[in-house]
Structure 1
Amino acid sequence: VHAQERFFEMDLMRRQAAGELAAIFGKAALPLDMEIRQYRMRARAREFLEQLPPDQQALLRAYRIGVNKGLNALTVRPYPYLLTRTQPVQWVEEDSLLVIFSMFVTLNDPINKRELGLSTMHAALPDALYRFLTAGGGSWDTPLTGNPLEWPPIPSVEDFNLRKKDVPALTNGIEFDESIPGSNNFAVAGNLAVMTNGAALVANDMHLTLRVPNLWFRTRLITLDKHAPKAHPRSDIIGITLPGLPAIVLGSNRHIAWSFTNSYGDFIDWVRVTLDPDDKSRYLGASGWQPIRRYQETIDIRNAPAKEITVHETEWGPIVTRDHDGVPLAMVWTALQPGAINLDLIKLENAHNVDDAAQIAQRAGMPPQNFIVGDKHGNILWTIAGRIPLRSGDFDPRLPADWSNPATGWRGWLSPVDYPLISNPESGRLWTANTRTVAIDQLAILGDGGYDLGARSRQIRDSIFAHDRFSASDLLSIQLDHRAILYVRWHALLMETLNHPGNSGLYTQVKNILRNWNGHAAVDSVAYRIVRGFRQEVIKTLLNAYTADVQKRHPSFQLPRLSQIEHAVWRLIEEQPLHMLPQSHDSWDELIFSCMQQVIANLQKQSDDITARTWGEKNAAHIRHPLSQHLPEWIAKWLDMP
């Protein structure tokens, strides 16, 4: 069924991970292939396949046979191959592991650009300013265990004085983008649930890219026992599958229901590689000078000669890029480590309680995820699914480090007994939304891979603590909650700014729009769009001023995702220290007013009638088929969603 309904999408996922898209799309896909081919994922998939237990190898063989049988049974090949005038290539066992690799690429940052940006900032900024801009949390934190973190103090005038600094003029400032492929999952224990006969309730909403066709494939698997009546199946599993894999990714087997969100732990590190000054083919490893391993990779390109590239690898991983000072960097990524990928996830299909499910999830070879599970006995549990690296040595994993000291680096995998785990909390409630989940002592285990601001988690937590009893529809209403609680104080700040005397008639109109806002991120809301744009403009203005030196010294610098920057910026707005005010403004009030003017001006560029500039106009969905951008509009419109 996967092959007959989704083979082209399966094909794209294996090709994305293997760096083989150019064979279909030609030179346009070559940069993507060259970037991902550095990780040699097809070669690793073959190695990992041989390391799987015999039953999992047998499952992949059976799946391969079924996929190819289904594909060959079609009277005509899937239509994307007709449009591209190509032929589908038969499925092999390693391709399913490449599909898992593709999820690592989706859920992790395959070029780890966040830590590259942090490294550049760390080297160029005063330490107090760096810590103030990049801290790990504050008052919005909503972890499952522990308290909110304390945000560092504002740098002193001695540490950083923007008023006396010759800030370079920036022709193209950095863009502030805090979008994050996020999800949420939450659960309530059986004693809080109604109409479940004591079973727990689990909600999950995985916010991966919307695409045509959908990434996930709804599936129900019923296994019959030939010795029992069909009215009593041996198993009945309902959920979603990922075409390319023979497994229910998440769902329920009528004993448990399980769910995932991306954990955004730190599962990629950069290693600063010291090359031998007399022989650049050698590097200093943990046991002395080592030869750099070289692998030749051939990238097939449709309608063009093949491209040959050389991959350079160290004992830690491939050399992928250079640090801000030119030092080569090798990537250490959980996805590339032996034991990182397996099919243990399928064992959840036969788990009978949350404790069994946790043991399975912790050993599963998959991108590390927040795992929330409930069972029919009313129990609920949270832990991390997927393998976690065990770090040793005194180094900051958010920054590139020298691992030539044998005591520094990764020492295999964390033992499941040391995984953070919460079972049946006293409150009977669990929640995650891509934010920090654990107390500061356990954060060192998971790391900070750019986890999200706690605002979404707080909204979910507060909602599930606002009721004593829950039905399934109650949890659905929480998933559909579009109150913009994060923006309430920004709305108040904007109203205060608009109340200044001497404002024009236009600002009176804006004030009227804002006065009637109901606090929701609604499709027809102009106010939400203004408030949201205002917040982003203030943050972008300040970050451009504070990183101007970085941008001047490193023209290719890209601002890393600073998910917690809300804490820093709001403290500046509250305390308004003069030495942190950009020189182009005379006061903090004037900066805030200027940001508001810029937002209104941006809306007016589209039309003088700002009452038509709704959030829905900006936040429209453009759900496209992967082929449509390569085809004429009259064909593309039949492939894309409206």
Structure 2
Amino acid sequence: MSLKKRPIFGELGSKPRRRFKALSIKSLVYSLFTLLLIIFGYAYFALRASLPILDGEQKIPGLADTVTIKRDATGVVDINAKNRLDLAQALGYLHGQERFFQLDLSRRNSAGELAELFGEKAVNYDKSIRIHQFRQTAQKVLSNLSKHEKAILTRYTLGVNQGLADLKESPFEYLLLRQPPRPWKAEDSLLVVYSMYLTLQSRNGYREHLQGLIYKNLPQEIAEFLLPAGTEWDAPIKGNAMLPPPLPESSKWGKVLAQPNMKKPSPPEQITTLNTKKTISRQSPVFNNAHHKKAFQNAESGTPCFINCEVYGNSQIGSNNWAVSGELSVHQSAMLAGDMHLGIRVPNTWFRAQMHYQSDGKTVNLYGLTLPGTPLLVAGSNTQVAWTFTNSYGDWSDLVELTFNDAGTHYQTSTGEKPLEIIKQIIISSDNQIHEIEIAKTIWGPVIKHHGINYAYRWVAHDLEGLNLKLLDLEKASSVNQALIIGNRAGIPAQNLLVVDNKGSLGWTIAGPIPKRQTENDSRLPTNGAENSQLWTEYLSPDEYPRVINPDNQFLWTANARVVSDNDFEKLGDGGLANGARAKQIKQNLSELTAASERDLFKIQLDDRALFLARWRKLMLQHLENVTKKSAEKANEQKLNTTELNQIKQLVANWSGHADKDDVGYWLVKRFRQNVAAKLLNPIYQTGMGSLQPVESTEPLPAYDSFTTQYEAPLWQIVNQQPLFLLPGGYSDWHDFFVAQIRRESDRINKSQKKLEDSSWGSHNTAQIQHPISRAVPLLGYFLDMPKNPLSGDEDMPRVQGKNFGASQRMVVAPGNEENGILHMPTGQSGHPLSPFYRAGHQDWVDGVPTPFTMQQPVHQLILTPK
């Protein structure tokens, strides 16, 4: 009889064990999947809970009467109120519901309170801002406002806080940051305007410091050549172009040429950062620009916070506005176009609204752009008058060089020694780290430091005159003259105010405070505090402001460049005025108009013709054509064969003449100019400060365009005249030099393993329009950021466009004809990613599609009633 072999212990139940193991893995997967569903489900419902209320009826404490709010399919709102105070509260309610996180960043940005949200990464930025003490100044300004202005701010504040409270959940950003939102205060609305000061004006006088070093360390003739007041591109609305001084002869350059960096061989390749006009050398790193320099005091700047601590983004130059009279318009009214350029992020700077209220038995109708955090219509139309702004870039600050006593407790003035005032402040970060800082103040302002030199900073923004709510009066202005006077009295960062009315008139002036300076002082350069203690103590009255009304040519324009000449220009000064090329191109376009429509003015806003670069293209082609056999052989040694040269020549010769996203030739010409400028100008400008003025400092050397925005004047004279004494070291002649600069971009493309023909302008100028949170958590960028579209447009043309800088809106309107107007803006109305308005209208902005100025068919209605 045979017996079955009994399985040993290890064999017993092996299949059930495998099944158990498989079941365990499946259970684990299912459990993890279920857990993820629960997490994502909770996140989704929490996110939905913070969506703004679009329909129905809400009872609001503090309202005097019912307010009706309508929205169209893109989220443009129409607010109908019985009085201005109820309107302010309703607008605050909308801002609080749709944009509270943006409001919060705006106030914290200028108050130096970002670390409370973002932790230690923001501490150094907060330190640099606290020296301005904007929260303390805002409190003083608030106490000086009129009764009516205070009432509007109070009701607006009630609205913001009620809007936040009526959300079922805090805005999603606070859930991610694990911080509760802080209630809004009336003074916070003033801090929002101070954030605009930080964006639109120099917060530390860095360019003035650099220009002072140039004049201190170089012969005057060289300094004047390097720092011209204007160029042949100037196109002021009053006066003529200010031609730059000629290239000084070689004998004048001895002190500069004696420096070793002027004739040494070619340094390592320099890389020019795109869309910021900054050249960064491995041998001489550079700050982003005067507006973005992070370190103000002795302490070096640390890691910037993930939102770059810049509420309105970088501060390149690009805003435009222009107007035509009723004689040149298809309407009886004059017509206005404006595109205010700012750094672009998600959500956009502006919130579109049309608002109606009763005043003195009449209906006031307002259409245009509001700034979240404030109760103002910043730009738009009241059906009688329309207005818009560009940054003036006048000289609104001064540096005073300080001399301290041995103990460092007192400083010299022309009337004797004075003690430093020391103010202590506390910065508390979100992880409860406490930082105590000391702010040193003088009679002129806070103490700052550049390259080892101590200065006091005198700035309009520090004065109570720098801020008020007089801009509210534009709501009822009925003529150009009336609107210009209101602008003169406004307390805002000084702007070019362009106004038109329904009678056909047009006018320009400065809106914002203008210092009344002593004429004998050169305000471009620092003042020695021990010798001259008298800076401005007063401001111009409205009748002293420059104005231009109804010019003979029937049109006006501004583009951040010089607008006026002679005595009027002396009143405004130069705080970094733009090259005049853009203004000149706009003027040319306007001179060709007869019976202009809204679309005619809108077309100018999209003008991306590269007129400024045309002569650089000609120069580039000239040297590509003149490559001899010898230079071709030399090019081969430099790994640039004649085939590549011919390909470059063909691409440049066939360029479209536009900064078109598909154009390779445009990109090659642009890079050629950048490479030439960096190679020629960096050593010259840097010689004018660092090596001739030794200071104990770890600050890097700045690039040429940190010294002046008018560098095209000296650059083109050198390029055009090609003096051998300014030929950089390492090149046999100027032709060799220019071919080498052409080679740089080809080499860079080859190293990146891209094809030359694929290196279009759009491949380099691709949108990077981000939400602040996605900068910290890139995985969220898919949900929060705008599409990465290739973008047409660039600097030095009306359609100024960078990756995250450009027209924050494009507007065209004739007062009284708002239904025919045009208005669009990047991103969308709402700051909530699940809102139907989060991206609504963005693609129209990318593609340059004109969309209506007014709200269209309403699809939502919300009624606010008194509680």
**Post-superposition offset of 1:399:** 1.6
For 1:472 and 1:204, locate their aligned partners in 2 and report how far apart those are by CA, in whole Å: 12
**Post-superposition offset of 1:280:** 2.7
For 2:785 and 2:127, locate their aligned partners in 1 and report how far apart those are by CA, in whole Å: 28
**Post-superposition offset of 1:156:** 1.9
**What letter is aligned with 1:303?**
D
**Post-superposition offset of 1:41:** 0.8
3-state SS of 1:409 partner: coil
Give the aligned partner of residue 261 of structure 2.
167
Give the aligned partner of residue 4 of structure 1.
97
**Post-superposition offset of 1:561:** 4.5
For 2:517 and 2:141, locate their aligned partners in 1 and report how far apart those are by CA, in whole Å: 22
Residue 509 in structure 1 maps to residue 633 in structure 2: no
For 2:660 and 2:668, locate their aligned partners in 1 and report how far apart those are by CA, in whole Å: 12
Give the aligned partner of residue 383 of structure 1.
509
Give the aligned partner of residue 774 of structure 2.
628
2:783 to 631, 634, 638: 638
Residues 513-540 of structure 1 show CA distances to partners (whole Å, capped at 9, x for unaligned) of: 1121120000000000000000111111
For 1:285 and 1:546, locate their aligned partners in 2 and report how far apart those are by CA, in whole Å: 34
Matches within 5 A, 1:214-225: 214-224=348-358
**Post-superposition offset of 1:70:** 1.4
**Structure 1 unmatched runs, 5+:** 228-232
Query: Contact 2:284/2:701 (CA < 8 Å) preserved in 1?
Result: no
Cα distance, 1:256–1:393 mapped onto 2, change above 3 Å: closer
Give the aligned partner of residue 230 of structure 1.
none
For 1:328 and 1:173, locate their aligned partners in 2 and report how far apart those are by CA, in whole Å: 23
Residues 589-634 of structure 1 show CA distances to partners (whole Å, capped at 9, x for unaligned) of: 2211111111221222223510000000101110011111112x33
**Post-superposition offset of 1:287:** 4.3
Residue 364 in structure 1 maps to residue 508 in structure 2: no
Query: Contact 1:285/1:315 (CA < 8 Å) preserved in 2?
Result: no
For 2:465 and 2:418, locate their aligned partners in 1 and report how far apart those are by CA, in whole Å: 24
Residues 254-298 of structure 1 show CA distances to partners (whole Å, capped at 9, x for unaligned) of: 000001000000111111123234x53222345433221111111
Residues 43-87 of structure 1 show CA distances to partners (whole Å, capped at 9, x for unaligned) of: 111111112222211111111111111111111111111111111
Give the alignment's Cα RMSD to 1 decimal: 1.9
Residues 431-452 of structure 1 show CA distances to partners (whole Å, capped at 9, x for unaligned) of: 0000000113322111111111
3-state SS of 2:486 partner: helix
Give the aligned partner of residue 449 of structure 2.
321
**Post-superposition offset of 1:226:** 10
**Post-superposition offset of 1:192:** 0.7
Greater C-alpha Rg = 2
Give the aligned partner of residue 148 of structure 1.
241
Give the aligned partner of residue 326 of structure 2.
190
Query: Contact 1:484/1:521 (CA < 8 Å) preserved in 2?
Result: yes
Greater mean alpha carbon deviation, residues 437-446 or residues 205-214 = 437-446
Give the aligned partner of residue 583 of structure 2.
457
Query: Contact 2:317/2:578 (CA < 8 Å) preserved in 1?
Result: no
Query: Contact 1:180/1:452 (CA < 8 Å) preserved in 2?
Result: no
1:295 to 423, 434, 444: 423
**What letter is aligned with 1:18?**
A
**Post-superposition offset of 1:430:** 0.1
Give the aligned partner of residue 342 of structure 1.
468
Matches within 5 A, 1:78-89: 78-89=171-182
Residues 338-387 of structure 1 show CA distances to partners (whole Å, capped at 9, x for unaligned) of: 22100001110110010110010001000000000000000000000000
Give the aligned partner of residue 252 of structure 1.
381
Matches within 5 A, 1:54-69: 54-69=147-162
For 1:545 and 1:407, locate their aligned partners in 2 and report how far apart those are by CA, in whole Å: 35
Query: Contact 1:199/1:376 (CA < 8 Å) preserved in 2?
Result: yes
3-state SS of 1:572 partner: helix
For 1:274 and 1:177, locate their aligned partners in 2 and report how far apart those are by CA, in whole Å: 29
1:309 to 434, 437, 453: 437
Residue 136 in structure 1 maps to residue 205 in structure 2: no
Residues 544-600 of structure 1 show CA distances to partners (whole Å, capped at 9, x for unaligned) of: 231353444566332325211111111112211222222322222221111111122
Cα distance, 1:561–1:254 mapped onto 2, change above 3 Å: farther
Residue 478 in structure 1 maps to residue 604 in structure 2: yes
**Post-superposition offset of 1:174:** 5.7
Higher relative contact order, structure no. (Cα contacts within 8 Å, ≥ 6 residues apart)? 2
Give the aligned partner of residue 570 of structure 1.
716
For 2:158 and 2:226, locate their aligned partners in 1 and report how far apart those are by CA, in whole Å: 53
Cα distance, 1:591–1:236 mapped onto 2, change above 3 Å: same
Q: TM-score, normalised by structure 1?
A: 0.95
**What letter is aligned with 1:307?**
H
3-state SS of 1:296 partner: strand
Query: Contact 2:161/2:183 (CA < 8 Å) preserved in 1?
Result: yes
For 1:564 and 1:163, locate their aligned partners in 2 and report how far apart those are by CA, in whole Å: 22
Residue 607 in structure 1 maps to residue 753 in structure 2: yes
Matches within 5 A, 1:267-286: 267-277=396-406, 279-285=407-413
**What letter is aligned with 1:599?**
E
3-state SS of 2:344 partner: coil
For 2:426 and 2:184, locate their aligned partners in 1 and report how far apart those are by CA, in whole Å: 20
Give the aligned partner of residue 90 of structure 1.
183
For 1:614 and 1:467, locate their aligned partners in 2 and report how far apart those are by CA, in whole Å: 33
Cα distance, 1:43–1:175 mapped onto 2, change above 3 Å: closer
Query: Contact 2:370/2:376 (CA < 8 Å) preserved in 1?
Result: yes
For 2:445 and 2:138, locate their aligned partners in 1 and report how far apart those are by CA, in whole Å: 15
Query: Contact 1:160/1:580 (CA < 8 Å) preserved in 2?
Result: no
**Structure 2 unmatched runs, 5+:** 1-93, 268-281, 290-314, 633-641, 788-867
Greater mean alpha carbon deviation, residues 299-308 or residues 369-378 = 299-308
1:100 to 193, 206, 209: 193
Give the aligned partner of residue 338 of structure 2.
204
**Post-superposition offset of 1:463:** 0.2
Query: Contact 1:393/1:408 (CA < 8 Å) preserved in 2?
Result: no
**Identical counterparts, % of pairs:** 37
For 2:288 and 2:124, locate their aligned partners in 1 and report how far apart those are by CA, in whole Å: 23
For 1:164 and 1:578, locate their aligned partners in 2 and report how far apart those are by CA, in whole Å: 15
For 1:49 and 1:286, locate their aligned partners in 2 and report how far apart those are by CA, in whole Å: 34
Q: TM-score, normalised by structure 2?
A: 0.71
